[in-house]
Amino acid sequence: MGSKSRIFNPVNVRGTRHVLQAALEMGVEKVVVTSSCVTFGPSLPGQSLTEDSSNFHPFLTAYERSRYQMEHVVAAYVNQGLSVIVVNPTRVFGPGLLTEGNSVTKMIKLYLRGK
């Protein structure tokens, strides 16, 4: 995960920290941060995830870990008085390249074409 961390951490962790610090210094009233549902990890059988759920599983990718670390940075700024909303989208659908990472989009397109 080390080399991948160098890709994700500068933006997801440090970049978010810089934006939140600037917002705090400038007196911004509210900040919206986009994270990812991967920060929750999988749910236990028969249980639903909520905004109060915690991840109790090891992360599978550097991306997941960076998003989780980013949310801890956000929490630190909330504790300093910054008003922050974190959204955790599950999957983004729309135009773009169809890759292994967005295979669900590919399946939906095939379904809509009757295949």
Burial code of 27-46, b = ≥16 C-beta within 10 A, e = fewer?
eeeebebebbebbbbeeeee
pLDDT value, residue 83: 98
Q: CA dist 2 to 62, 63, 64, Å?
A: 8, 11, 13
pLDDT digits (tens, 9 = 90+) for 64-114: 899 999 999 999 999 999 999 999 887 666 666 656 566 667 777 788 888
Question: Which runs of consecutive H residues, i.e. helices, occur in the chain?
Answer: 2-9, 16-26, 62-79, 103-112
63: nearest Cα among 1, 21, 115, 18: 1
Residue 13 pLDDT exceeds 90: yes
pLDDT digits (tens, 9 = 90+) for 19-76: 999 999 999 999 999 998 888 777 778 877 777 777 667 788 888 899 999 999 999 9
Q: CA dist 1 to 79, 91, 109, Å?
A: 30, 23, 32
Provide the CATH number for the domain formed by 2-112 in this structure.
3.40.50.720
Q: Show me where the domains of the chain are located.
A: 2-112
